[in-house]
């Protein structure tokens, strides 16, 4: 559960929210949110509220697909230049109507 707490805290900070901002945004007291973020054991409906407040999705991922999902998420920030380049190389219409 500690990893989940760290992820929630990290995302809140990435969005520039204080604990008080987050608590107000999802409709709970700052003390409740602070306890939840540090050591609480939130119910599923509370986790859903938090995920919406943090502009995230709550998902269950099969263990055999976890590595693939992590790879996709880790590569999501990289530019897709190879795909763009590959698409242009395979496009028979590319440059056909351009002036020489």
Global pTM value:
0.64
Please provide the CATH number assigned to the domain covering 2-53.
Answer: 1.10.260
5-55: pLDDT as tens digits: 899 999 999 999 999 999 999 999 999 999 988 888 889 999 999 999 999
What are 93's two structure tokens?
Answer: 């219409």
Q: How does DSSP classify residue 11?
A: H
**How do the domains of the chain map onto residue ranges?**
2-53
Sign of CA dihedral 33, 35, 39, 43: negative
């Amino acid at each position: 559960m500690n990893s989940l707490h760290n992820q929630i805290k990290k995302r809140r900070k990435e969005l520039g929210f204080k604990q008080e901002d987050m608590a107000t945004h999802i409709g709970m007291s700052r003390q409740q949110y602070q306890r939840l973020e540090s050591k609480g054991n939130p119910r599923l409906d509370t986790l859903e509220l938090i995920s919406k407040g943090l502009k995230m999705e709550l998902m269950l991922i099969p263990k055999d697909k976890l590595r693939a999902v992590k790879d996709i998420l880790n590569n999501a920030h990289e530019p897709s230049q190879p795909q763009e380049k590959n698409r242009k190389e395979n496009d028979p219409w590319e440059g056909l109507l351009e002036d020489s």
